[in-house]
Structure 1
Amino acid sequence: MATQATRGEGRVSPVFLALVAIMAVSIWAVWTDYSASPGFAVFLFVVSAWIVSLCLHEYAHARTALHGGDITIGAKGYLTLNPLKYTHALLSIVLPVVFVIMGGIGLPGGAVFIERHRIRGRWKHSLISAAGPLTNLVFAVVVTAPFWLHALDGVPDNFRYALAFLALLEVTATILNLLPVPGLDGYGIIEPWLSPKVRRQVEPFAPFGLLAVFGFLWIPEVNHAFFDMVDAVLRTLGITEWDTYWGQELFRFWQGTPEIPPLNALDLG
């Protein structure tokens, strides 16, 4: 059975290339402080990079499913990295961006539709589900590399803060996606190993898993515990709360440009 997409089915979409172009231009604008509104440039950079990472997340699911046996993936357009091809563009792109704007939470989005009956083997099913959050993890490692490699000499402060805030989003997305909640990838990883009876009992709750997670995050105690964990992860990667705080402040450009104290006046360890 063939598991390769045709050339047309795997061609990168102009929509994704446009997103990458916006990300590249906004990186330049943040780095050079070219924009009259530094916060708007940071906003464009973070949002475009965040959407690019969401596209890569869904692509990882699709590509792994293709090699796992679902030969319908290519025809559905999932290998083009075009977010408009997803089963629920609203869940996959719009809502995650809205959640970022509302609260700085990298909430996982919707999904590509995978014909699971075509795939044989529990390990393949688990790997398909794990591929998405692993992509966010890799993205987080790349974004934080300048911090844990101590390679920030000469990097403009605003770009440093933008990277830190983007890293926070990727770390939160990775952690949230790995939660064993129906409807999220974490549950998808363990689902093949559950009994058919348990799977049938849990299935009706899958559409509400994402909303339930978001609801729990509004509980102050849960929110504080979650972000304490996120901050601990970021600290191990060399990112301080100072970095993420000012990254988010710049991101919210509609609140006005914040007066950021000089970074060289602080001892960040």
Structure 2
Amino acid sequence: MASASSHPEHHRISPVFLGLAALMGVSGWAVWSGRAQVTGFAVFLFVVSGWVISLCLHEYAHARTALHAGDVSVGAKGYLTLNPLRYTHALLSVVLPVLFVIMGGIGLPGGAVYIERGRIRGGRWKHSLISASGPLTNALLAVLLTAPFWLDAMEDVPVAFRTALAFLALLQVTAALLNLLPVPGLDGYGVIEPWLSAGARRQAEPFAPYGLLIVFGCLWIPAVNDVFWDAIDAVLRSLGVSDLETYLGLEYFRFWEGEPQNVHLPGG
């Protein structure tokens, strides 16, 4: 009998994902073209569609790694189609992360795939790799999005497009760093969980549903928030992106507050 993962429809890219990719492409063209009356809204669509695409790729990485480790059930669950509606609850997986971007300019880890851990072959390191694959995907996306910056290829790029890329890269970095925190409920804890004792796992389990809330509660503490954003800015600077570029990207993104005026960036 064919395995659940061998059905072509389980691997076929979802029309929803293709629509998101088309929206990102069209809105990116609109941002590049620089028509003043649509630039801010185009940046908003470009960033939101790009952010949801990154959420899909994050969860796909978990599912694909689990598939190769032995969990063939991910195919029948639709996780390999890149459909954002397949990654658990649409509100928690997509809508809430997008709202956090709108409200605070932070990449909230969203979505989840249910891995049948009993099917995984290869020992504890395979379980760790499944958990790590999601945030590592965000990290890879951050490197790709910032490639024009660290390759010094931004000289003729329109300011709106340049800063939109910077802001989208910032979301990838925040998602990667937040997800890698060793807090129950986040991927970072999933990386170390297989190496903990059974007693330690039992003690941590009740906190898993509240891990993300605990993290964001800590970010309300000014000293913690300052350290967090200093770390984000340091990572982006190492990738050639300045604080000013990410700030302007957020300003363009919030088109309802008015677009930045008379913007000039060094090298732009």
Task: Normalising by structure 1, report the TM-score.
Answer: 0.95
Determine which of 171, 176, 179 is the counterpart of 1:174: 176
Taking a change above 3 Å as real, the CA distance of residues 201 and 235 of structure 1, as seen in their structure-2 partners, is same
Q: Which residue of 2 aligns with 1:57?
A: 58
Q: Does 1:39 align with 2:40?
A: yes
Q: Which runs of 5+ in 2 are unaligned?
A: none
* CA displacement, residues 188-242 of structure 1 (integer Å, 9 cap, x when unaligned): 0000000011101111110100111111112221111100011011111111111
* CA displacement, residues 156-212 of structure 1 (integer Å, 9 cap, x when unaligned): 111000011111110111110100000000000000000011101111110100111
Q: Which residue of 2 aligns with 1:216?
A: 218
Q: Which residue of 1 aligns with 2:141?
A: 139
Q: Which runs of 5+ in 1 are unaligned?
A: none
Q: Which residue of 2 aligns with 1:99?
A: 100
Q: Does 1:262 align with 2:267?
A: no
Runs of 4+ in 1 over 6 A off after TM superposition: none
Q: Which residue of 2 aligns with 1:112?
A: 113
Q: Return the offset for 1:3.
A: 8.1
Q: Which residue of 2 aligns with 1:21?
A: 22
Deviates more, 1:3-12 or 1:222-231: 3-12
* CA displacement, residues 11-57 of structure 1 (integer Å, 9 cap, x when unaligned): 00000000000000010000001462311111100110000000000
User: Residue type matched to 1:41 in 2?
Assistant: A
Determine which of 151, 154, 164 is the counterpart of 2:153: 151
Q: Return the offset for 1:151.
A: 0.7
Alignment check: 8 A CA contact 2:93 2:111 kept = yes
Alignment check: 8 A CA contact 1:26 1:42 kept = yes
Identity score, percent: 69
Q: Return the offset for 1:261.
A: 2.6
Q: Return the offset for 1:6.
A: 1.8
Alignment check: 8 A CA contact 1:37 1:257 kept = no
Q: Does 1:246 align with 2:248?
A: yes
User: Residue type matched to 2:107 in 1?
Assistant: G
Q: Which residue of 2 aligns with 1:126?
A: 128
Local SS of the residue matching 1:73:
helix
Give the whole-Å Cα distance in 1 for the aligned partners of 2:258 and 2:210. 36
Q: CA RMSD in A?
A: 1.5
Give the whole-Å Cα distance in 1 for the aligned partners of 2:54 and 2:45. 14
Alignment check: 8 A CA contact 1:181 1:209 kept = yes
